[in-house]
Amino acid sequence: MASVSLALVGLVLVQRRIPLELRQSHNATIGIIYGTLHVTFGVIIGFTAFLVLDKYNESRHAVAREARDIVQIHRLAEGFPEAQRDQIQDVARSYARVVVDEEWPLMREGQTSSSAETLAQELGSSTQDFEPSTESEKALYAQGLMRVVDLQENREVRLLNAREGLPLILWIALGILVTIIMLFTFFLGMESARLHRWAVGMLAVGLTLTMFTVIALDDPFGGAFRVGPERFESALETIEGNAS
């Protein structure tokens, strides 16, 4: 990894330019500061990890709920008069298809699909335009409206998590702390230069993996562990299976 190589190069330069005796004479002072930095970094990275993990899980759950909503809207439309039923089911099917084929690739870049947004609004207006005349139709109408509202709310959560990331100040704080922590390890005095290099290398690996995990979870729809469209694909299969 580039970060490990960079850390080892920096350590070797310090070992060659600053005598071991001089570094050992400051171990106690450096150790106190180093420990304080570690505690500070631990607090901030723990808080950050909580935020990104919560965001990742929230994204997964929002996708699952939204996919479930579109299936239930399609099923509820079965009880509507033929004209409204066909319109709502066609829009529901089109929405699921556009989200999978068009919007999901766009979300990797933090963008959204205007076609999917239009279909979501059309789904709401198609349901609202229906005027129930019987008690059963009134019950279906109320359930349909509720599902449309839920779908739109879950859609907003999904898109917000695709667009928004951690505050810039957190990235700056983490970047500065990681850099300072690595620099302080260079100035510790250890009898074995080889053991010192192994220790610094392992620390660099640990910090790199930590930062990589935070970065990946902060981008739930575009990172290495992205939330995929499988739920919507399954919903689309269910909708098309019901239609056949």
Closest-CA residue to 211 (of 44, 57, 58, 55):
44
22-35 residue pLDDT tens: 888 888 888 888 88
The whole-angstrom separation of Cα 110 and Cα 123 is: 24
Six-digit token string for 90:
């066609």
Q: Where are the domains of the chain?
A: 2-50+166-218, 65-162+228-243
The whole-angstrom separation of Cα 91 and Cα 126 is: 9
**Per-residue pLDDT at 84:** 84
**Per-residue pLDDT at 68:** 94
Low-confidence ranges of the chain (pLDDT < 50): none
**Per-residue pLDDT at 1:** 67
Asked whether the beta carbons of 60 and 207 are under 8 A apart, the reply is: no
**Per-residue pLDDT at 135:** 78
**Per-residue pLDDT at 243:** 57
**Per-residue pLDDT at 91:** 92
**Per-residue pLDDT at 9:** 84
**Per-residue pLDDT at 52:** 93
